[in-house]
Amino acid sequence: MKGRRDLLRLGAGGLALLAGCGPRDVGRRDDVIRLWVAPNEAEEAFWKVAVARWNAEKRGLPVSFTTIPTAGNSEDTVLSALVAGTEPDLCTNIFSGFAVQLAALGQVVDLAAMPGYAELIARRRMEAVVPGWTQGGRVAALPIYSSPTLIWWRADLLEAAGLSAPPATYDEVYRFAGRYARPGARYAMQVVAGRSWQDRWFDFISFYYAASGGRPYLDGARALYADAAGLAAATFIDRMFRQGWTALDFDAAEPLVTGLAAGAVRGPWDVERYARTYPDTLARIAVGPVPAQGGGAGRGSTFSDAKGIVIFRSSRVRGQAFDFLSWVLGDEALNLFWLRRTGLSPARGDLLTNPRFAGYYRANPMARAYAEHVATARPPALSEYTIDVQKIMTSRLVEPLMTGASSPAAALADAVSRTDRMLEAQT
């Protein structure tokens, strides 16, 4: 009997050990600021220098950084760390929708309430950028960089069709498509970016922002895109498919490289990829705006795939962490160094007027094209329900337009009413 009891005790001990694997404060320190950064070579190189400078100048608590320990995506890793209690004090690479989810769960600090916030916004000239990251006066994450989406066109194909500059309006795209496209063989433009919910940022949402001048497509529990701009964007997508000027997908190969499509939505992150893999194609690329209706108020607006930095509520060094964040974001020399290392434009509104950045943009016309849109590019809607909103957008709006199953107006109305119902049910 005693033996059995021993065995039971052993088992109970094991279970207790397992139970101890639950969330708790692990390694929470107040003598160092722990920072996680995006796991890519360029960003890591920036943070290495920035952190070394901060520590060498003894500006505050020392900072220790590591890349986000992920093999897949950052959100899963951050979430696991939060549950396990192993999250750092600061974390970069946070997409705005995820920041809103973390804020709703009470896991991140409201940066707008931190002392020195207003000074940082003014010093970094973020007045035009920060409204897209503000919800109810609260800021869960501050954008480090802003990557607007623009259209890459094969300049040689445009020239062969008699165009000296990239098309900027729907009518210009239609005219070019009429000359270049051969249904089934080659297409004017890749209109739909893909099938997953994230792809909507790179097609309908980009088109909507361009058509609306950057108006939000979502406001709390209501979808806003059933308006003239939404109809214009949906009609553009519909017409491109109905005329055979675009294909259902371009999964087989890079369409710009093969010339299967003369234009496609691309971000600044593609510049380095093309420079490495398709340098010949990159040399023939002309960058144009996301098309909108002629004379529309929205010319120049587009979607911004920006990533931000958060301070976790569990941090014991919030104030010092914000001091570091404020220094690293607000220092112009560091912003320029970031730009040189990563090629991604810092999320500030004076990129083209500040002489410190002039040299870089003079030497990099493609980067300049993106910089021109940083102030007017808009991030995704700040919603906890991004996935559901964009899944509905996919299945009820974009897919019916691709196949011709619905008219633009009907698809738009259906998508918006379903989104509203879904949001109403959630809140």
Q: Which two tokens stand for residue 108?
A: 């991140």
Phi, psi of 292 (to 5 degrees): -145, 175
By CB under 8 A, name the binding residues for other proteins. 2-3, 6, 14-15, 18, 23, 75-76, 79, 82-83, 101, 105-107, 184, 194-197, 199, 247-253, 255, 260, 384-385, 387-388, 391, 394-395, 399, 402-403
User: Closest CB to other proteins among 107 and 315?
Assistant: 107
The upper half-sphere exposure of residue 296, i.e. CA atoms within 13 Å in the direction of its Cβ, equals: 27
Q: How far is CA 247 from the centre of its chain?
A: 25
Give the shortest CB-384-to-other proteins separation in angstroms: 8
User: Closest CB to other proteins among 21 and 333?
Assistant: 21
User: Closest CB to other proteins among 114 and 393?
Assistant: 393
Helix and strand numbers (H, E) in the chain are: 19, 15
Q: What is the dihedral of CA 345, 346, 347, 351, to 10 degrees?
A: -70
User: Closest CB to other proteins among 15 and 358?
Assistant: 15
CA distances from 124 to 117, 119, 121, 335, 347 (A): 11, 8, 5, 9, 8
Give the shortest CB-339-to-other proteins separation in angstroms: 31
Give the shortest CB-66-to-other proteins separation in angstroms: 22
What one-character DSSP code corresponds to residue 316?
Answer: S
Distance CA 257, CA 268 (A): 17
Give the shortest CB-249-to-other proteins separation in angstroms: 5
User: Closest CB to other proteins among 2 and 58?
Assistant: 2
Q: How far is CA 184 from the centre of its chain?
A: 32
User: Closest CB to other proteins among 27 and 106?
Assistant: 106
H/E segment holding residue 199: none
Distance CA 248, CA 255 (A): 12
Give the shortest CB-68-to-other proteins separation in angstroms: 15
Taking alpha carbons only, the member of 43, 41, 80, 47 closest to residue 63 is 47
H/E segment holding residue 144: strand 142-145
User: Closest CB to other proteins among 66 and 258?
Assistant: 258
* Cβ atoms 365, 164 nearer than 8 A: no
Taking alpha carbons only, the member of 262, 273, 303 closest to residue 155 is 262
Give the shortest CB-218-to-other proteins separation in angstroms: 16
User: Closest CB to other proteins among 254 and 332?
Assistant: 254
